[in-house]
Amino acid sequence: MKYIHLFYLYYAGVASLGGRKGVLEEVLSRALHADDPGKYSVVYREFNRAREIGLLEFLELSENFKTIPASRIILVKKGDEVLYRTSRSDLLKLLGENTFT
* Per-residue model confidence as pLDDT tens for the chain (101 residues): 455 455 555 555 555 555 556 999 999 999 999 999 999 999 999 999 999 999 999 999 998 788 999 999 999 999 999 999 999 999 999 988 544 54
Helices 23-33 and 2-17, packing angle to 10 deg? 160
What is the predicted pLDDT for the residue at 101?
46
Number of domains in the chain: 1
Residue 91, domain extent: 2-97
Query: What per-residue confidence (pLDDT) applies to 6?
Result: 53
| Beta strand residue intervals within the chain, DSSP E | 40-46, 49-54, 73-78, 81-85
According to the model, what pLDDT value does residue 11 have?
53
